[in-house]
A and B are shown apart, each in its own frame.
Chain A
Amino acid sequence: MTEAAATLDQFRKSAGLTHPDLWLRYFGLGGMSSAFEVEAYLYGALEPTVHDRDVLVHALNERFTEMGRDHPVPYSDDDPQEAPDSR
């Protein structure tokens, strides 16, 4: 059903962030959704807007950058072929 959301939550886990951690980062980047809504996005119960999803993706990618990984989570305007972690 919501593969995109499942993937985001997997990224969240491998980034070692709790849901509140991720929300705080997302919020710090100007995200407009509540902590609860963000959790619902990750859970697949709500669909984020393209912009909202990109803010979440960037929050994850900044975390990955801190961990020495180069932006593994693709943005909405990335070519899906170039997604680093696929195949």
Chain B
Amino acid sequence: MSQTAAPGAFSVDVSIVGDDAHVAVRGEVDLVTAAALGAAVDAMIDRGQRHLVLDLAHLEFIDAAGLRVFAATLGRLREVDGTLVFHAPSPTIRKTLEITGLAEVVLPERAEPPRLEPPRPAPSPRFDRSLARAAADQARKDVLHAALNLVVVLARATVAGADGVSVSLAGDGGLITVASSDDTVEAMDADQYVTGEGPCLTAAAEGRRVEVDSVDAETRWPAFTPRARERGINAIISNPLRAGTRPMGALNIYSRTPSAFGREGQELATLFAEQASIVLTHASDDLAQDKGGRLSDALRTREVIAQAQGALMERDGIAADAAFAVLRDSSRRTSTPLRRLAQDIVTSTQPDTTFDEGA
């Protein structure tokens, strides 16, 4: 079994251990070798194996063709209620799996079969450090930074009652503010980093939305609250940000007015946090390089569309998906690109725009 193959040479070994089919993949999986991997895996599923362990300890490289084999395998196993486990991917391969979202699906807590070792290192409890660092690095890059700033500007313009907005991301030494609408918000964030408490920190650490309806009535953060009051801030919403499903930081919205955010404000805040999370999830190298600025354009249009959706949600009392359906329907009827309709809605100063009634 211990063949002395050249580095990078592809091989696949299959063995059955209890209920599991172990598929050990070596070398490089690319357009050429992916077919062989697919055939080996398919053969296992065809003969009734439902639980596959892909041993990736000696996998050196995988391209999109190989990832498609993984996705197809996952699809087939799901149909038969089977399971797929990635065992011991290298950090690089693991990152690839994480960026594609496959890792979220396939790296659940599942007891490893005893034969396989060593165990994967336990993930750090609060933040995945490598991802956090990667995101902090990315934050310095133009596209991501611009995108997060755009989220900040639009959230401030769209969420009723918002006086300031910021984005905090996990860096090496804790959270840092990477985008903010003004100095007061930046100081509000810093107050929380310094005192080690506050809605932003709780949202980031626990991955849930934290609301402060009235700072005066607030008792959860005795060190932070007086500072907020001093700065004239009375209501706060902090929404968790994620890359994939990993907590990465928080989108913070501050208001001088107590109880400033109604249910609509909260929903919009969540929408913007999702937008920011998507940006973070896609912050991989090739996207950050953004050849030809196409990604920046796409980011701009999606923000405009999100803002138009928000306007429709507020105007018609409908959900985000329904708002999109209104837009696409109108786009089809008028053969107008959806982004242009969205732009019209956003720039329209008339509160009673009747664009979606049969023209």
Contacts and interface: CB of A to CB of B under 8 A. Distances in A.
Nearest to B337: A62
B113 interface: no
A24 B68 CA distance: 19
Main secondary structure of the interface of B (DSSP, over half): helix
Given A29-B301, A34-B281, A44 B75 contact: yes
B337 to A, nearest CB: 6
A42 B298 CA distance: 21
Interface string B41-68: 0000000000000000000000010011
A46, A54, A77 — most chain B CB neighbours (10 Å): A46
Nearest to A44: B75
Given A65-B335, A71-B332, A24 B305 contact: no
A51 interface: yes
A70 B328 contact: no
A84 interface: no
Given A30-B305, A36-B100, A45 B298 contact: no
Interface string B278-296: 1001100000000000110
B318 interface: no
B302 A30 contact: yes
B302 A40 contact: no
B101 interface: yes
Q: Number of contact residues on B: which range applies?
A: 35 or more
Contact of A61 (B72, B281, B306, B332): B332
Given A24-B298, A36-B102, A51-B324, A29 B75 contact: no
Contacts of B324: 30, 51, 54-55
Main secondary structure of the interface of A (DSSP, over half): helix
B306 A30 contact: yes
Interface in B97-151: 99-102
Interface of B: 64, 67-68, 71-72, 74-75, 99-102, 274, 278, 281-282, 294-295, 297-299, 301-302, 305-306, 309, 321, 324-325, 328, 331-332, 335, 337-339
Given A29-B338, A36-B102, A54-B328, 16 more contacts: A24-B294, A24-B295, A27-B282, A28-B298, A29-B302, A34-B99, A34-B282, A39-B64, A39-B71, A44-B75, A45-B68, A45-B72, A55-B324, A55-B328, A58-B331, A70-B335
